[in-house]
Amino acid sequence: MKRFLYLEKKDLGTILNQYRPLLKINDPFVPISSDTSLIFKTGGQRSERPFFINKVAPCRHVCPIGIDIPTAFYLASQGDIDGALRTYLQDNPLPGICGRVCYHPCEMECNRVNFDESINIRSLERFLSDQGHVDITRDVPIHSKKEKIAVIGSGPAGLSAAYHLARLGYRVTIFEAKSELGGMLRYGIPSYRLPRSILDREIERIHSLGIQTQLETTVGKDLSWKELESFDAVFMSLGLQSGKTLFETDGLENDILIGLDFLANPKRWSLEDDTQKTLIIGGGNVAIDVARTLLRLHQGKGTNITVLCPESRDQMPALPEEVKEALEEGINILNGWAPHKLHREDGRLFSLDFCRAEVKIDEESGTMEIIRVGKEIQKHMVDKIIVAIGQRMKSDNLPPGIEIKQGGIVTDRFGRTSLPKFFSGGDAIRGKAFVANAIAGGKMGAFAISCFFEGRDIEIEFQRYQIGDSQIYSFPHFIGGLEKDTIHLKTVVSFDQINTLFFSKNARNNPDKLEPETRKKTFEEVTRSLKQAGMEEEISRCFHCGTCIDCEICLDFCPDISIIKDTKLGIYSFDSDYCKGCGVCSVACPRNVIEMVGETI
């Protein structure tokens, strides 16, 4: 932006003389400057000066993966869908999956919640993955380093670790016990929530980084841990492969099933007969997925499908939207009841008694206690029971010396185990059992392994790239350095720091869903992509908290016209000769990118 009409110095005197009025002896005194107002350097009045620095939005701060969501929204607003997808892929190798099944804590902490409604961030992630095209191999030094890493398991944690390690140039081999990659993404999430074509597409992108795979190989059984000694590090993403049991099933193996076993291959169990009374025990996502999958096997006939759990409706660990959709489809959920006694007749399952119960959760430890309430007993006639009360890890094939506690592998906060070159992440270390948290565990594992190889102090390195006070770090800054961007990763922008005068209130756009009567008869994906117009509106609703998007409002409001924009570097500074330090730019900035700092002498 030009300050004034600039003139060549040699012409200045000529022009001033040309336009200077001729004064007569009797004329009143008229003061006339022979120079421009640039001679009045008002910067000397300043006690504070503006400082331009990007900060962290709360959505990024609470995202388990640490995705730079505001930057992705900004690029999408400029029509750069590929650039926005590339931003997501810097930290998250599975945006198409998270855009469908993530529990989206980012939306819960979105600053827009305090203004009207949160932005539909999950729908953007899905949109970018489905519409964007990025060659992730373009800037990756594939196999540029000599170290080799074995990744055990190909669930979200294993895929994430392999992806980030490959991007760092390491040589990665994934060992998977089953015939296809994906872990619980493939064998635990029904296709009406996560279509297999989306999963295959995401895995193929990861595979393109030169990652090797060995399928149908159980380490500790088909391949000994000793045989992995040729690898420089091992990342164990074993997951929780087995469902917990509740009853002695002697003679009832075909009548009492485990939820995870059912989901891995629903048609294997011959449960298509909709006249059979089936009781699903549990209140988590697995229980709801089992019930909705069984409903679809019954062609939408759910009269004989019942979910029983001790939690109240609000306490159910299943995602609220999944519970809501199950109820819309006619699934019967009995809250506040727990199994009491199993009855057999002629060697077959006959009925189940259940009693009134409530759940108390210890706020500090998160442990759950089921307490019987009163003496009321009800009898439920059943043909099949499917138990979905949680998962556990198979610990019989672990390497000698690995410490186990409360059913999980013991690690420090970086995923380092009790053995020097062994690392772990995901459900196996008993963190939050969500896809996004497992992806974060794999990302952290890559960070720890890299520090291990390069002899870096992991505490110092993490502090350098940590986002806010969270347990996540910025991978693009770790791989490229903090110098590549003007951002302060430790400062999170709150709602009261947003200048909402520059924003209008707009309702949130939500995607369409198949109607309950239609969807309960098919495994077709329930939730649709947000329509183009709705997606554009959602993109425009983003505050871009803490992220400069070149709105130039600071230039418009500066009374001294002393904001300087470097168009080549895309950064802003101030003219120290003329900035008075009034702070108008800081107050006007809609996104809290400008702050006033004390002037140094």
Is 392 in a helix, a strand, or coil?
A: strand
Residue 482 confidence class, pLDDT cut points 50, 70, 90? confident
Residue 241 confidence class, pLDDT cut points 50, 70, 90? confident
pLDDT beyond 50 at 21: yes
- How would CATH label the architecture of 244-391? 3-Layer(bba) Sandwich (3.50)
Cβ atoms of 449 and 442 within 8 Å: the answer is no
Distance CA 499, CA 503 (A): 8
Q: How many degrees, rounded to 5, is the angle at CA 571 between CA 565 and CA 573?
A: 60
Residue 22 confidence class, pLDDT cut points 50, 70, 90? low
Q: How many residues does the chain have?
A: 601
pLDDT beyond 90 at 389: yes
Residue 1's pLDDT is what?
32
Cβ atoms of 542 and 106 within 8 Å: the answer is no
Amino acid at residue number 9: K
| Residues in CB range of 536: below 8 A, 6 or more apart | none
Residue 225's pLDDT is what?
93
Q: Which of 467, 498, 308, 295 lies closest to 389 in space, CA to CA?
A: 308
Q: Which of 164, 161, 85 lies closest to 426 in space, CA to CA?
A: 161
Tokens of 188: 């635990």
Mean pLDDT, range 68-82, rounded to an integer: 97
Q: How far is CA 308 from CA 189, 320, 356, in A?
A: 20, 16, 11
Provide the β-strand partners of residue 596: 50
Question: 187: part of which helix (H) or strand (E)?
Answer: helix 184-187
pLDDT beyond 90 at 355: yes
Cβ atoms of 315 and 343 within 8 Å: the answer is no
Residue 7 confidence class, pLDDT cut points 50, 70, 90? very low
Mean pLDDT, range 204-230, rounded to an integer: 95
Cβ atoms of 174 and 161 within 8 Å: the answer is no
Distance CA 88, CA 95 (A): 7
Question: 89: part of which helix (H) or strand (E)?
Answer: helix 81-89
Distance CA 117, CA 120 (A): 9
pLDDT beyond 60 at 5: no
Distance CA 527, CA 198 (A): 14
Over the stretch 305-348, which tens digit does the pLDDT of each residue have? 999 999 999 999 999 999 999 999 999 999 999 999 999 888 88
Distance CA 315, CA 123 (A): 26
Mean pLDDT, range 572-599, rounded to an integer: 93
Mean pLDDT, range 572-585, rounded to an integer: 92
| Residues in CB range of 171: below 8 A, 6 or more apart | 143, 145, 146, 147, 148, 149, 210, 212
Residue 29's pLDDT is what?
59
Q: Which of 68, 65, 74 lies closest to 97 in space, CA to CA?
A: 65
Cβ atoms of 55 and 491 within 8 Å: the answer is yes
Distance CA 222, CA 152 (A): 13
Mean pLDDT, range 490-501, rounded to an integer: 96
Mean pLDDT, range 453-477, rounded to an integer: 96
Question: 268: part of which helix (H) or strand (E)?
Answer: none
Distance CA 208, CA 200 (A): 12
pLDDT beyond 50 at 2: no
pLDDT beyond 70 at 13: no
By percentage, how much of the chain surpasses pLDDT 70?
93
Provide the β-strand partners of residue 243: 391
Q: Which residue has the tokens 């997808």?
A: 85
Is 99 in a helix, a strand, or coil?
A: helix
Buried b (16+ CB within 10 A) or exposed e, 82-114: bbbbbbbbbbbbbbbbbbbbbbbbbbebbbbee
Residue 251's pLDDT is what?
81
Residue 28's pLDDT is what?
61
3-state secondary structure 429-463: HCCCCCHHHHHHHHHHHHHHHHHHHHCCCHHHHHH
Provide the β-strand partners of residue 353: 341, 379
Cβ atoms of 286 and 260 within 8 Å: the answer is yes
- How would CATH label the architecture of 68-241+393-458? 3-Layer(bba) Sandwich (3.50)
| Residues in CB range of 431: below 8 A, 6 or more apart | 437, 438, 441
Residue 491 confidence class, pLDDT cut points 50, 70, 90? very high
| In the chain, ranges of CATH 3.50.50.60 domains | 68-241+393-458, 244-391
Residue 218's pLDDT is what?
94
3-state secondary structure 195-231: CHHHHHHHHHHHHCCCCEEECCCCECCCECHHHHCCC
Question: 349: part of which helix (H) or strand (E)?
Answer: strand 348-361
Q: Which residue has the tokens 């081999």?
A: 173
Query: What pTM was computed for the model?
Result: 0.91
C-alpha dihedral over 104, 109, 114, 117, to 10 degrees?
-10
3-state secondary structure 190-201: CCCCCCHHHHHH
Cβ atoms of 295 and 520 within 8 Å: the answer is yes
